[in-house]
Structure 1
């Protein structure tokens, strides 16, 4: 089981086979994210090949970590084709804020 941990709190956990690795980041499936731990951020970014990203602040025991997670809700079809699987809504975590434990 792979876990994403921020501030001692497990934010996401999934089997390695359920994760998608992109550009050095592990993306967790939406169902693997701890409910109530992500709050939409106002940060906007568009990746030239993946499309528009959605950033999240991570909430842990009353603490908030700004822009510590992101996903691509509707990646470009060419990105899905390039990756070989649909990664819509899969969530990655900023390695400066989250520990990814295997």
Structure 2
């Protein structure tokens, strides 16, 4: 019985430690328009990462409910750069976030 409990606990820890799986999605940015992308949840608070071949990668990090910060990687292997402003969740489309500094929009469905 002890071996079973240890094995079950080990399996549970391994599942928790494994990275989140990316899913196919549709994305939109003010600069690039609408395109197919990969969407990956980063934490339980709703932070996420979107990637697509030939497009910048974006990481949206939730600061407080409805407010987030966004960084972008413009070249594969390059560093992530913080984008201006706080991104506010859109009331018109909850899949979208809008910068309060530039009105740039980032959406993922």
Q: Structure 1 length normalisation: TM-score? A: 0.34
- Greater relative contact order structure (CA < 8 Å, 6+ sep): 1
Q: Which of the two has higher C-alpha Rg?
A: 2
Q: Structure 2 length normalisation: TM-score? A: 0.32
